[in-house]
Every structure is written in C-alpha cells, then in structure tokens.
Structure 1
Amino acid sequence: MSALPLAFLSPWLLLGLLALPALWLLLRLTPPKPRRVDFPPLRLLLEVAAKRETPVTTPWWLLLLRLGLAALIVLALAKPVWNPSAAAPAGSGPLLVVLDNGWAAAPDWDERVRSAEGAISAAGDAGRGVALVATAEAPRDVGLATADEARERLRVLQPEPYSADRRAHLPSIERFLAANQEAEAIWIADGLGAGEARPFAEALKTALGSRALTVRVDPTGSARGLAGADNTPAAMTVKALRAEAAGPETLRVRALDLRGRALGEADAAFGVGAREATASFEMPVELRNDVARLEIVGAGSAGAVQLLDRRSKRRAVGVVTGATADTAQPLLSPTYYVTRALKPFADVREARGQGASAAVESFIEQKLPVIMLADVGALTETARERLRGWIDAGGVLVRFAGPRLAGAPEDGLSPVRLRQGGRTLGGALAWETPQPLASFAADGPFAPLAVPGDVTVNRQVLAEPDADLPDRVWATLGDGTPLVTGARQNKGMTVLFHVTADTRWSNLPLSGAFVDMLRRVVDLAGSGPAPAEAAPAQGAAAAGQPAQPAPQGPRATLPPTRTLDGFGAFRNPPATAKPAPAEGRAFATFDNPPGLYGPVDAGVAINAMPANAALARLDLSGLDVGVSAVVVAEPTPVAPWLFTAAAIVAIVDGLIVFLLGGGAALLARRRPQAAALALIAATLALALSGQPGFAQQTAQAPAKAADAFDERFALEATLATRFAYVATGDFEVDRIAKAGLEGLTQSLAARTALEPGAPIAIDPAKDELAFFPLIYWPVTADAAQPSPEALARIDAYMKQGGTILFDTRDGFTAGGGGPEGAALKRLLEGLDVPALEPVPRDHVLTKAFYLLDEFPGRYADSPLWVETLPAADEREERPARAGDGVSPVLITGADLAGAWAIGADGQPLFPTSSDERQREIAYRVGVNIVMYTLTGNYKADQVHVPALLERLGQ
C-alpha cells in the first residue's frame, strides 16, 4: 500500500485503526476521581442524606490523546516507509527485469542498481517470481528466481567496458515470455540508441503482446564518450561525444602516460545542439608521444577513455635527397612524394641548404629515430661511420634507389648487396615488360596490407642472390625480384625500396599503398631517440612490432595485458578475454574488452568505441511502452519515529492521570520523591527517543579517538617543514639519528632561509610518509625486510616525489658486502628502485647550495649513490621532463647522522675520521641534500640559460 511519498510494508495492520471507536467507549468508562473535602465535624451531618451521583467522565482532550497513542502504535506496526522504493508494474505474474550493464550505464550505475532492486523488492513483497537479464553478459537461459536470489545476483553485477549486445539475448527472453504468459517486463536502459536498441524494444514488446513493458531511462543523458584520437602535426585531438543535443557544455579531458601521470588537460566545448566537440592538446611532440590514455575527468566509464598505442605516436623523420632541383621542380623531387606520404602520421624534417652528409650528421645530432635517403649514393666516411653507429643504437634507415645509388660503390648501409647499375623493364632495348607488384612476405610488416593491382615497375636495382636474401625480402614483383628488402642491424634496421621515391621508375609513389607501406616502416622505429631492444629480423619485422619476439603473420594475435573495467579503470584481464588481432580491432567486444594487448612498447590498444563513433538517444516514439525516469529512492523507515512518539505520549498520559488523581497534593507533601520520579521519567524519555544515536556515538567513540590521534600527528608533521627518521628499535641508533637531524636542522636555520621543525621518528608500516620531503633511514645489521604493506607505502612515497636517504653507517668498508650492506639489500628487495650511480660531477647535488666534489660524513671515502640520469645529450634533447629530477633513493655509508649529531650543549657527539673540516663538509652535504629534495633540478636548468638566451636571440 502506497500513497506517495509514504508506503506501508504491512498495510493489513492498519485494520487496527477500526478499533479506535471501541477504544473511545472503553475510555469513557473510567471511574470519577476521588474528591477530597475539608469540613468541620458538623458538615458531615448535613450530607448524611443520600443523593444521586453522576459519574465524572474522562475529559475529551485526554480521550483524543489516548486515541492518538493507539493510532501511533497501529501505524508503527504497519511499517510505514517514507520515500519508498520504485514499485514493479501491477500484476500477479512473474517480473522480467532487463538491465543494461554496458559502459554507458557506468556513470549512474548505483542509481540503476537501486532502481532494479526496488522493482525486485516490490515483486518479492507481492509474492511474484523474478527473472534478471544483464544485456552485456554472455547470453544464457532465462529462469525464474526468488526476489532474494535476484537481489544477490544484482549485487555482484558490474558495468562491462563494452556496449551491450541486446539482440543476442532475445531468443532466451522470448522463450521465457512464451512459457510465462502472465509475465511483465521492466527494461532499465542505458538511454543510448546503439546496439540496436529500438529493434530490441520492438521485439521485446512483440513478445510481451498486451502485457506491460516499462522502460526506465536516464532523462539527463549522463553518458559521455571519447573517440577518434589523432596525433596531428600541430596537436593531439580527440572527439568528445554526448547523446543529447542539449545546451552548451564543457568537458575537461586529461592526457596521461602509462604510469598514470598527467601530461596535460584540454577542454571540449559543446555548442548549443551539438553532440560532438573536440579537445586539442597543443604539446611538444615528445610529450604527445608519451600519452597513453585520454579520459574525460569525472565521467567514470570505459567509453570516456581512449587508449593510445604505438600507432598514435608521431615519429620525427628526416628526409635527405641527392637531387638538386627540389625547389625549382617540386613535383619532380623525390622528397615531394615522401613528405606528402609521411605528413599524416609523422613530423617530417627536410634537409635544406645542406649536403647529404651534413644533413645526415645534423639529423643524427637531433636524435631522429628515422632517416630516409632518397637516391643518395655517396656519403663521407665520417657520415657513414656515424650513420652505422646511429643504426646500431636503434635508428631506422630507409633508402630509395635511383641513378646515384645504382652507380655508387657498396657502403654497407643497405639490407642486401646490390648489383652495379639498374635494371630496365620495358622499352625498345629491354627484354622484359614492366612488372606488377606480386606479393608481400607473410612474416613482414606489409603482410596485413592488400596487394595493389595498379602498381607497375619499369626499373629497379637488383640484389645479389645469397642465402640470406629470401629472409630479407618484404615485397616482390611478378617475376620474383625484390621490390622492398629489410634487415635488422643490432638495435636498428635498414630498409631499401629498390625503386625511386618519385615516379621515374614506378608509379608506386602515386598509390595509396605507398602511404601504408611508409607508415609501417616508420612504426618499426621507437618513439624516442633510442628505440627499445628488438627481436630478430624475421620476428621483429612482423606487423611493425620490433619488440615482438615471435613472427607475426596476417593472423597473428596478441594476448591481453591490461584491460579496462566498466568504470574506465585498469584491471587484470578477465578470464573470458581472448587474444586480439595484431592489428587491433575497431572497438571492444565481449571477447576483446578495451585495453592494451601485447607488449607495452609494441602492442595495440582496443577502445570501447570506434574512431567514427557517434552517440544518439534511445528513440521509443510510437511504441506502446511506458517510459519513465530511472527512479532512485532512498527509503526511510518511519516506524522508529512513531514508536518514539507513542512512548512520549504514553509518558504524558501517565503524568496527566497522576496529576488528575491527586498527584499535585502528593507532590506538595513529598517533593524529594517527586523530584526523583521526574528525573526517572525524563531519563526514560531520553532513553526511548535517543538510544539509537547514543549507541552509534558510543560505537564510534574509538574511531573518533583514532582520528584525533591521526590529526594531531598530521598537524605536528605539517605545521612546519620537518624531516623524519625511521625508528629502528635500537636505542643508540635512534638517538644518533635524532641528534643528527637536530644538528642538521640547526645548521639549515643558521645558513639558509629554511627553518625546519624538530625531527620526528616514524614507523613506515603505520605512519603517513607523505608529510616529509626527506626521510633518513639508518640501516642496522639486523634490520628485517618490511612487510608487503609497508613496502607498498614506501614505494608509493618514492613514486610521489619523496626521497629516502639510506645510511649503512659502515663507510662501505666491506664494499657493500658487510652485515649492514646485506641488510640494505634485504630492505630494497621488494622496492622498485631505479638504477643508481655515484653522484656525477655535473649532478645538481654538487651545486644545490654549496659547490661540492665529495660527500663525506663521519667517514670520508664513502660515495653517495643517486638515481642514474640520462646522458647529457639525451637530457638536452627533450624539452620537457616529468617530475623535478629528484632521486627517490639516496644511499651512503658515510654515517651522516653521526657527523651532524650534537648534544644538549650544542657540541658534536662523535669525532670524524679526519678533522673538523670534514664535519663542515658533512654539514654542507646535508644542506645540499635538503635543498635538492625541496627544490629539485632548477639549479641544473640554470646552466642552460646562455643557450636559451642565444636561441631566443635567433
């Protein structure tokens, strides 16, 4: 029984209200109260005569009070609920609940679950069976279950990261409805027209016939999606989609790398009535190549995430030509066709005003991953040597034939040995006719491409036949001669097109296959200056994946590595996920959920929506269905409040009866007893009305105490900049660590603008580490490895910018092999520690505050180890770097705390291995370490100011 927004879970108990008239009559029979009359003895004689007495009735307002008390009890026993859950359609037959649980249902998943749970509960209260169908799951037979069983299954459902395949469930749904002629249905739809939503609704209504079909949809259209990410020459763009052609709206899109670090944000602004907007990330190409994930901030669905793989990276390609008429005759230049083919997916850098050798050396200095030589025959010895070293380091050299290459001597920069001179096909003096392109090697990068039928070759350079030639041929002509060859050379690769890059020797540059072939060749290179270690030639060439260890043919597949859940978060691949084609799929399915497949540096990404996706609202116009919003009810039981009110009314009634029965006079004579009675009544009233809150407060008291402790610790750690030391449990070691940090704190306050607070002892397994920029960890010989939880906290602290200074305090006298060194190895076993090296001469630590060339503590010969930095040229090559360049780990054996330690009188506690000059240097080391952890690598950037000013002047 329901009268919005109030419902009764036991409405039959409301029949007790019919007893109120009988209760009224019963209350009227209450005898009159005793009457006390003070009179003299003679007054008694005057009233000896018997008189007829009329009984005094109960006052009307007291009757109403007692009737109200009875009504409150009856109403409370009927279990009233305020704002009840959504009810199921009226009927007595089974209820079919169809729930869309694709990615579009994720943003308001909780509301949908509560809506379905309300319908199931209402059906259960009516004694009806329930059948639950989740449209994003694999099809299964639909069977009846109890409401409790349906609720249990509903609680374990989660949104899936792909679109629901509703039509696949129609056969089982139709069989269920045919077997249950009185069944009715509720479809809690995601509100999108994708997945053949309207045909599904029509088929569902046809199967129901005259029975009711209720469709619940989100009227606000909360689903938002991303599709069609494109790394253009100017910026990275992605389409933001919505289903409702509503008013203006702005979505924030965030770009993340593989580690989840934010690289940039951009806005996608929808115009009035627009269902598509574009977010543009104008970042350097180096940063855009690091983007692995684009997501709508706060959208919370797999459809609002776009994963990027190697195919979205823009490689920088240097193009060098041996021709001299590039500017005067651009259409006759080999670089014209190459640059036009490369521009959609690569940043092309042409050599202008330079010779071939100088251009090659310039591109090598720029750390380009791909260099293309169009008919370049001769290079200087220096250029050839540098080019060989660049290829060995991971570069990809692509050469095109031509007259100069055909007449040049062998230089070792081609994948195969070439015959001198070219081969002419066709013409008055030629025996052969022009040859078509015949096939692509099954294990080569061009294998997935269709062989174009309109490509003909009339001249080429021939390869000398040898045993390795068949393994290096990627494309062949009709007569079996090679058109494209390639070979692995250490980490890099050389590729040769046996025709020119222009139309003199073939019409290949005019075909679309030329663009696809160059794209796959460029994909063989890594996205940075030093491509990753690649597999052997045959397997590496497969599908453009240099890091794939196994050959990849047209049917090659890649296993799932990381997949998305329905909310857009990464998870381990589910057991139902199958390997995906090496070329990827257009969009996700049940077998291939969205995620990353294959190796991180050579895999493919599958997204929830294809690049050309568009969102549209579910259209149910003209169908005989009931459409309503997804009702989200927060039911509140009213019975406790009614029982409380009844208890209060009962107490008031008792007090009134007491007072009407002469209680006032009794209270006048017995005031102490009356006061105690009033106190008991007040206590009872408070207990009846406030017991739940009191119990809750009592239960939460320990938690509040714990929160208060954490808050005190947080305030103590953050109101001033403090350094922490790890408490080892060894009293002497902890005393020295504390005294050392106190000495360093005083030195910082005297020498710098920083005034740190007193150091704090911490336990990494219990205390929050993020409050401290630097943690000093003295390593003892008996130190045990931290628990997995503590290791996770320590690793998170280091990943988020914190620095830990490990000090073995042994001077590395045993070369790191002493008991303290062994203990340090145990501590670091479970941590993701970067590669370390002694502090280089040009490191920021050598100039963060003082200029230093050594890092002593109590011991003078112990090096300080920091994270290994890239080479100087690699650091200069990249315009932007993530983080501030601070090493998360510092390791020393110099016993820095022992050198810093001071007593209560301010005097050093321990001598150094040399003299007081060593202690002064130790203090300077501490100051530099603190400045380094607090300010990062800004001092390193200062050395580039002259170069930056010079470039700005240009």
Structure 2
Amino acid sequence: MLGLGAFAFAAPGMLALLLALPVIYWLLRLIPPLPKLVRFPAIRLLVGLEPTEQTPMKMPWWLLLLRLLLATALILAVAKPLLNPQADLPGRGPLLLVIDDGWSSAPGWTTRIAHAERLIQRAERGGRTVVLMGTAPTPIDQATARRGALRPDETRTILRAFRPKPWPTDRTAAAAELDQMQIDLGAYAVWLSDGLEDEGAARLTERLRRFDGLQVVVPDQATTPLLLLPPVAEGRDLKVRALRPAADGPRKVAVQAADEQGRVVARIDVEFAASATQGEGVLPAPAELRNRMARLDIEAQGGAGSAVLLDERHRRRPVAIMGERATAGGQPLLQEVYFLERALDPYVSLSIGDLETVLTRNTAVLLIPDGAVPSANDREEIAKWIERGGVAVRFAGANLAAGADTLVPTRLRLGDRALGGVMSWGEPTALAEFPANSPFLGIPIPKDVRISQQVLAEPTPDLADKTWARLADGTPLVTAEKRGQGYLVLIHTTANTGWSNLSLSGLFVNMLQRLVTLSRGVAGDGVNKALKPWRTLDGFGRLGAPPAGAQILPADAAETFKPKPTTPPGLYGDENAQVAFNIGGRVGTPRPLTLPGGVATDRLSEGGETDLSRWFLLAALLLLLADLLISLWLRGLLPRAVRLGRAAPAALLLLAMFGGAPDADAQQSPPRPQFQPQPSAPAGPATRDRPGPPPLSIEQALKGSLDIRLAYILTGDKEVDDISKAGLEGLSEILRNRTSVEPADPVGLDLERDEPRLYPFIYWPVTSTQPALSPRAAASLDRYLRTGGIIFIDTRDQQLSFDRQAGGNPDLKRLLAGVETPPLVAMPPDHVLTRAFYLLSDMPGRWAGGKIWIESGGGRVNDGVTTIIIGANDYAGAWAVDQRGRGIMPVTPGGETQREMSFRVGVNLVMHALTGNYKDDQVHLPDIMQRLRR
C-alpha cells in the first residue's frame, strides 16, 4: 500500500499505467476527429460563397484534455484509492472476526457490518484468510454457515447474510466452538461486541486472549441497546419502562404505540435521569385507545429487545355490572356492586346499569350479583348473548339459594350451606389448590381467605370438569360451562363480605381479571397451558410467520424462560386469541461489558477508510458520456440525436398501448362467458359497457416492453405480496439458469393503476382480505385474458374444487365475479403443460396433490392456449428463495425434491405462456415417447 497522508493506493502497481498517458496523448493527436456532416444544398446557392468555418484537421486541445482525464480516472480507479487509510492488521496469521449477533446487536447493525467489511478489506490487502463466527445460536430453519479460515471474498458473502437474532447471545458456547475449530494461535482476533455483560463474557474474553492479538469493539451511546419492558397498568394509564446498561448522563427516547396494521396511535417520551439506568414514562391510554394497541417500540432502535407485543393482559375489556351503582347513603360496604366496581375499575372499561342498558354496549363480560336477579326474559337474553361469545359471571346468595333459577352452569341444591356460626358445627373453610383445567391456575392463594357460606352443586358425572375452584373439603366454589362461543360462570358465594372474606383479598381481584381475560379465549395469563407459535419477531423486531420447526410455548414458561431458537419471541396462540412472549423482563437487566486490563478497545462508528474506486469509475463514466455528446455535437448529429431520444419513449408508449398482446402470437378473441364453477355450464353474453384502460406511464411502458418480466397481482397483504415477489424472483433465476429466457426483475401489479397486457405471465395469490375488483380493474383483467395473456391463480388452500357439491373457493368466486371467465375443467394428464419444457406427471407446489383447472375446450385464444390456470398448492411459497438461493418456506411432504418439481412446474407455465402449444406439434412426439421409455 502506498500512503500519501490521508490518501493511499491499495494497488500502487497499477499506477504504472500512468506512464502510458504520453502514448495516449500522441495517439489522440494523430487521430483527427470525424468530418462534420453537412447537408448538401443546391449548387447554385454556393456560387460566390466563401466557407466561413473549416473542420479542424487536429483534435481541439480541450477535447484532448478531456480524454486524457478519462484515461487517468480509469487508471486511478483500478489502483484502488483509499481515503483515510488504516494500517495493516497486526500479526501474520488469519483474522478472527467474532460478532455478537443477539437481540442487543440490532441497533447500529448496518454500522457493525460496515465495520466488519472494512476489517475484511484490510485482511484482504495483507493476503490473509478470515475466520467469521457469531455468538448467538443459529436459527433452526437456517443452515449452518461454513466454519474455519476462508478467503476474504467468501467471508464477505457469508457476512452479508448475517442478521441479528431475536434471542440472547451464548458466549459460553462460542468459546467452546473456538476450542473445536483449532485456529492458528497467531491469529489476530477482533470482537465486535454489543457492549453487554453476561455469564459467558469472561470465558470468551479469556479464550480470545490466547491469540496473538485482541481488540474489542464496543458500541457508542447512539448504538447502545435499550431494553423495553412490558408496560404496567396504573389505573387507566400504562407505565412504560426501559432499561439501559450504564448511567451515562441524561437521555430521552421516544416510545410509540402502534395498532395491528402498523399505524402509530400514541407516542410518549421516556426520560433517563443522569444517574439512572431505568427510564419511565406514562402513556395515557383510555379504553378505546388501549384496545387498539398491538405493540410498543422504541424509535430509532429497531430490534426485538426494543419492541413489546401487547395481548389481552394489557387491554381494557368492556365489562358491565348488572345492578345499581353503590351510594354512600345505601351502606356501600354491604353492597355487592361496590366490591365489584372497586376490584375492576382500574383495569377495565366498566359500566353499571340494568340489563337493557349494559347489553346494548359492546360488552365482553357481564357480572350478575345475587341482588340483581334476572327475570325469565332477561335470562333468555343473557343466554343468547353468551352463545354469541359473552362471558357471564354470576354470584350466589340468598336469592339464588331459593332455587327456580336455570341460568347456572350446573344443578344446585335448594338452600345454602353454612360453614360457621353458632348454629353450625363446622368452621369457615379455606380454598384448595386450583385444578389443572382452571383459568385461575398459578394464582397464589392467601392463607387467610375463608368461605363461611356457599350454595352446593348437585353431584353429576361432569361436575369435576366444570369445577374451576374448590374448597379444602372438595366442594365446588367456582363452576363454569362453555355455551356456544361464550362461558357461563357461577361463584358459589356472594360478591360482598356476607358469606366470605374473599372480596376483601387480592385473590378476588386476580380471579376477576382472569375471567375478564377469558372473554377473548385465553385462559389466565397464558402460562397455564401450552400454546403454538402464531407470529414471531425477527432480530429487527419485525413480526412475521414463525420459522419452520418452532415449538409450542410450554405451560410452565415463567419469567425465567428465555427466548431461544425453538421458542422465539412473538405471539403464541391462534387467530382468535394470542399471548405475547417478549424479550423484556426475561433476559435480565443489561449491564456494561467488563474487560480485564490490557485488552485493546475501540468504538463502533461509521468512520474509517473509504474506498474511492467507485467514485473514480463514476467520474470516468461521466467523462465518457460528455465525450460522446461532444463528438455528436462536433459532427452535427446532436440535434438529430436529441429528437430521436425524445421520440423513442413516445414510440414505445404507442407500441405498448396498441400492440395488444404480451405474446407475439396472441390474437383477438370473442367475448368470454360469465364465470361458472361447473365445467358444463353454458356460456353467457359478454359485457360491453366497460371502463377504459388505466393511463399507461412511460416508465411502465419501458419496463414492460424492453424486457420479459413475470408479474404478480398485489393483494394488500404485505406478507403474501413479499412471498409472491420472492417466489417470482426465484423462478426468474431458474429460467435464466436453465432456459434461453432472460427475465428481468418481477413486477407487482395494481389492477387499478397498472396495465397487465405488458406481461406474458401473471401470478395471482388469492387471500380472504383482498377487496373485490372494481369495474375498472375487472375490465383491465378481462382485456388481458381476451388479448392472449395467461394468468395463474393460486388459491393456496390445497383443496380447490369446482364440482357441484363443493361449489369452489368462495374468495375466488368473489374476486372473479366481475370478470368474464370461461367454464373450467380439470387439466387432463396429457395436456401440453405437462411437457412444455419438462415432462411432468404431477403439479406440486408447497403442498402436493389436488388438481389444476384450465379453460375448457382448450381455449379459444392464441391457437388454443389456455388463458386462465387455477391451482391451490401455494406455488410462490415453494419458489420463494433468499439471497443465497435457499427456500424460504417449508415444502411438505416431499421437501427439497418437491421444491425442485415445483420449480419445473413454474418453468412449464412460463414456457407455455411464451411458446404456446409448440410442444403439441406431432413432430415432437417421437422424442417425447423415447424420453418416456427411458
């Protein structure tokens, strides 16, 4: 490396090419410019005229200087110029690069990777190999990266696939892995640390110090990880808390609350005192706002540790109490409504009134004290409300003990049972442990809670299944029954202090909170039963589908249960109810990293050396463009070239608008009949009054006409659209590698704005949330089908059927309601799709089996090529690959073999769209039969 102060050249040998500049100068001086092009006028106009300008025989000095500068810029670019060059790495062995890639590494991840790339570049200049490893466990759906000493270019490729993980690092395991790798002790180790201390930091540091040199890079204040804790309810508000490793002065961060669609609904500032490691802020959250919140995030952090997912435990459910509000004049300490209101008012949106008043609201839980005896008509209304998903909680008392009330989960004995007093031999009884089927499981039971009076349940075979709480003598205290989508719960004692002191304890509040949470189908706080993963967080805090192989959250997942590859943070449950499993509160308090004396440290920053090669190449390109324009100007061709440049986009626009079909062989066809799910349904008349096509932009015309591109229809579901894009990118790469088709990047289409006729093949995933097509979009799609385009509709439900009994996919029928589609039939086994490029006997996607449906009669457009193909096996999910060419979505039951077959299906679909019935020609039959005989 040749250093010139703040400027250096990594390949100084290439500067020897500057000696060729005199030769280039001499050659340019010898080559005169091309003669100027002048239109020959009539000869009589030249009589007596003297030429006022002559074309020079030599190149102008300024053009010569321009071309010499162009050559100099190219030579300097290949010499790899560097700004603020760094010294070569110490030592002679390989570079050992250790990166903390746990949840705490997400802040400043781009800066961390850029720092690592600069280190690899320095190792490459010295001709040294690189060993790269992370300290966080590898995800279960990700292949293990290559280990050991690799070339810098190979290491750079692996580094670019690195991503932060949504779980803590395991530095103890990383130190053990270093022992097994047998790295040369002369290596120079650089540890890109997240700046946090853990139980394995000392062992990893001691192991790295055995090498020839060690440098630990720690983050600065801007990239120091912050940990957001789950909020705590404070009356009607939420207290938001965040932790930082060190008290390094006053600091203020913003925390935003978002709904399920990602819209920000609230924002507050969390302030850290100068000497505090915990910051707090109060988020005003009325019931309507709190119920909309789905997550909290620290702005400008972007990691799983700075995100908290919210579930039903953090929302204020609408709860109603049947009865009259307690008043001071009516001795409130004796009224049941008073105790219920005091227990729930800070945590729920509470209303009190008669049945007609409370059931007109969007009520989730209805509390019925014994004093508010519902009439026969009221009981019928409450029973219907329970069937629709409500939770009714009744309390026993003298009125219920009198009998004749059928709104109870189990039959009751007439009268009540006294467990204490002068007329009873017994004593007030304590509660037994909650059974395993109870939503109260896990709530601690105070020793001083006593029940002195209760109503008894008649013994029945199913009484044990309906019992959620018992007394010490085994008699039921809480019974419940599921009715329809809701629950009917009976607490066999009063809601006041008349029959027990339960209402004076914290157990009463906890039990009522669990019953309120039950209104959405989640028992308790979610730790009393195992839940399967529904949505999980990645290292950047983005919520998505769980990784393949993720396990259920165990029933005993206490606060010490940490996220890991098999149980990443996220939402566990199903689409009806979920429990949030966050990093905050489960990984311990962050503490600053402690290093022994003598260890060299550095700060993680965006500074360092800068490679200027790309800028010199850009300068050379600009000079080349300027030289081209000047040459055209000197020859008198520049105005003509400008006119042609202006006319080219207009010509492409006219070609795209009036060219018709996306395929060269596409022809006009008669109107299509209305959509019929039965293959034998007759064709109906065509709809003539259609909106015109959407306006076509020049950019869209150029993109669609200059290159072959696969397209997909945007559904509005970001996850589905991302999979469609990744799937068509993977299929395009397969086409480029295996066929003569060279497709460009796929395009997402919005039928309201985009013109589909520019694309020969369109993939359409069907979703239940996708809105129905407008008349303009339906007309645009219908024109596409009439002019020869092929659209591949994927219902992704694995059970597509068009027989008379099943009736077809309802979402598909809804989306195609305004499109003139032909009758459909199951694809025969000898259809040209099975041999358009590959010979196929099945058409699998992510799933196998099922049928492919095509237009009946072989199609009437494009020489009998079918224009609509419908499948159900989630083909884009099977085609979707990451940057390294590996499948993103799991494929069942055939695994990678089935993925290969699904790629072949995609190749056949595209080749059929581009070549039509080419392989139906009889000339190919001998070759096909010979291939089949093999």
TM range (shorter): 0.5 to 0.7
Closer/same/farther in 2, CA of residues 301 and 683 from structure 1, 3 Å limit: closer
Closer/same/farther in 2, CA of residues 111 and 797 from structure 1, 3 Å limit: farther
Match of 1:410 among 393, 399, 404: 404
Alpha-carbon distance in 2 for matches of 1:834, 1:410: 56
1:494 is paired with a residue of what secondary structure? strand
Residue 171 of structure 1 corresponds to 176
Match of 1:190 among 173, 190, 194: 194
Alpha-carbon distance in 2 for matches of 1:112, 1:85: 19
Q: Is the 8 A contact 2:215 2:599 kept in 1?
A: no
- Are residues 1:154 and 2:182 paired? no
Count of matched residue positions in the alignment of Structure 1 and Structure 2: 665
- Are residues 1:383 and 2:386 paired? no
Match of 1:348 among 350, 354, 373: 350
1:520-919 equivalences in 2 (<5 Å) = 520-526=514-520, 543=524, 554=528, 556-575=529-548, 577-582=550-555, 586=559, 588-610=563-585, 618=593, 620=595, 624-631=599-606, 635-637=610-612, 741=691, 789-790=763-764, 829-830=811-812
- Are residues 1:464 and 2:464 paired? no
Per-residue deviation, 1:558: 1.5
Match of 1:181 among 179, 185, 206: 185
1:496 is paired with a residue of what secondary structure? strand
Residue 900 of structure 1 corresponds to none
Per-residue deviation, 1:438: 1.5
Letter aligned with residue 295 of structure 1: D
Residue 292 of structure 1 corresponds to 294
1:524 is paired with a residue of what secondary structure? helix
Alpha-carbon distance in 1 for matches of 2:168, 2:210: 27
Q: Is the 8 A contact 1:266 1:280 kept in 2?
A: no
Cα root mean square deviation, aligned: 5.7
Q: Which runs of 5+ in 2 are unaligned?
A: 23-64, 632-640, 658-665, 674-684, 705-709, 717-747, 783-801, 819-934
Letter aligned with residue 412 of structure 1: T
Residue 204 of structure 1 corresponds to 205
Letter aligned with residue 600 of structure 2: V
Per-residue deviation, 1:99: 0.4
Per-residue deviation, 1:501: 2.0
Residue 269 of structure 2 corresponds to 268
Query: Which whole-Å deviations, capped at 9, do the CAs of 1:790-828 have from their partners, x for residues lacking one?
Result: 4579976769x999678999xxxxxxxxxx999xx9897
Residue 120 of structure 1 corresponds to 120
1:180-579 equivalences in 2 (<5 Å) = 180-191=184-195, 193=196, 195-196=198-199, 200=201, 203-205=204-206, 208=209, 211-222=212-223, 223-230=225-232, 233-236=235-238, 238-239=240-241, 245=248, 249=252, 251=254, 253-257=256-260, 260-262=261-263, 264-268=265-269, 270=271, 273=274, 282=284, 285-297=287-299, 299-320=301-322, 327-351=329-353, 359-376=354-371, 378-406=373-401, 408-526=402-520, 543=524, 554=528, 556-575=529-548, 577-579=550-552
Closer/same/farther in 2, CA of residues 386 and 143 from structure 1, 3 Å limit: same
Q: Is the 8 A contact 1:773 1:802 kept in 2?
A: no
Q: Is the 8 A contact 1:487 1:494 kept in 2?
A: yes
Identity of aligned residues (%): 32
Closer/same/farther in 2, CA of residues 91 and 397 from structure 1, 3 Å limit: same
Alpha-carbon distance in 2 for matches of 1:827, 1:326: 61
Per-residue deviation, 1:314: 1.6
Closer/same/farther in 2, CA of residues 152 and 210 from structure 1, 3 Å limit: closer
Per-residue deviation, 1:162: 2.4
Alpha-carbon distance in 2 for matches of 1:411, 1:803: 60
Tell me which moved more, 333-342 or 204-213. Answer: 204-213
Closer/same/farther in 2, CA of residues 563 and 409 from structure 1, 3 Å limit: same
Q: Is the 8 A contact 2:533 2:570 kept in 1?
A: yes
Per-residue deviation, 1:758: 13
2:186 is paired with a residue of what secondary structure? coil
Alpha-carbon distance in 2 for matches of 1:832, 1:201: 62
Per-residue deviation, 1:381: 2.6
Query: Which whole-Å deviations, capped at 9, do the CAs of 1:346-376 have from their partners, x for residues lacking one?
Result: 223234xxxxxxx233211223111112223
Q: Is the 8 A contact 2:767 2:811 kept in 1?
A: no
Residue 54 of structure 1 corresponds to none
Query: Which whole-Å deviations, capped at 9, do the CAs of 1:173-207 have from their partners, x for residues lacking one?
Result: 35668x6432331111223x2545xx615751465
Alpha-carbon distance in 2 for matches of 1:374, 1:769: 49
Letter aligned with residue 94 of structure 1: P
Per-residue deviation, 1:327: 4.8
1:566 is paired with a residue of what secondary structure? coil
Closer/same/farther in 2, CA of residues 774 and 230 from structure 1, 3 Å limit: farther
Q: Is the 8 A contact 1:228 1:612 kept in 2?
A: no
Per-residue deviation, 1:731: 7.6
- Are residues 1:94 and 2:102 paired? no
Closer/same/farther in 2, CA of residues 451 and 80 from structure 1, 3 Å limit: same
Alpha-carbon distance in 2 for matches of 1:138, 1:776: 43
Letter aligned with residue 163 of structure 1: P
Q: Is the 8 A contact 2:572 2:578 kept in 1?
A: yes
Alpha-carbon distance in 2 for matches of 1:832, 1:106: 43
Letter aligned with residue 636 of structure 1: D
Alpha-carbon distance in 2 for matches of 1:468, 1:165: 49
Closer/same/farther in 2, CA of residues 299 and 711 from structure 1, 3 Å limit: farther
Alpha-carbon distance in 2 for matches of 1:456, 1:104: 48
Alpha-carbon distance in 1 for matches of 2:230, 2:293: 14
Q: Is the 8 A contact 1:483 1:498 kept in 2?
A: yes
Q: Is the 8 A contact 2:409 2:488 kept in 1?
A: yes
Residue 133 of structure 1 corresponds to 133
Alpha-carbon distance in 1 for matches of 2:198, 2:645: 52
Query: Which whole-Å deviations, capped at 9, do the CAs of 1:555-577 have from their partners, x for residues lacking one?
Result: x3222122121122223222353
Closer/same/farther in 2, CA of residues 758 and 557 from structure 1, 3 Å limit: closer
1:480 is paired with a residue of what secondary structure? coil
Letter aligned with residue 379 of structure 2: R
Alpha-carbon distance in 2 for matches of 1:613, 1:834: 54
Letter aligned with residue 582 of structure 2: N
Residue 857 of structure 2 corresponds to none
**Bigger radius of gyration:** 1
Alpha-carbon distance in 2 for matches of 1:704, 1:242: 61
Closer/same/farther in 2, CA of residues 417 and 792 from structure 1, 3 Å limit: closer
Per-residue deviation, 1:624: 2.9
Closer/same/farther in 2, CA of residues 712 and 163 from structure 1, 3 Å limit: farther
Closer/same/farther in 2, CA of residues 15 and 338 from structure 1, 3 Å limit: same
Closer/same/farther in 2, CA of residues 220 and 81 from structure 1, 3 Å limit: farther
Per-residue deviation, 1:433: 2.9
Alpha-carbon distance in 2 for matches of 1:212, 1:316: 63
Alpha-carbon distance in 2 for matches of 1:833, 1:9: 60
Q: Is the 8 A contact 2:396 2:492 kept in 1?
A: yes
1:429 is paired with a residue of what secondary structure? coil
Residue 861 of structure 2 corresponds to none
Alpha-carbon distance in 2 for matches of 1:704, 1:2: 50
TM-score by structure 1 length? Answer: 0.58
Alpha-carbon distance in 2 for matches of 1:628, 1:388: 66
Alpha-carbon distance in 2 for matches of 1:204, 1:106: 22
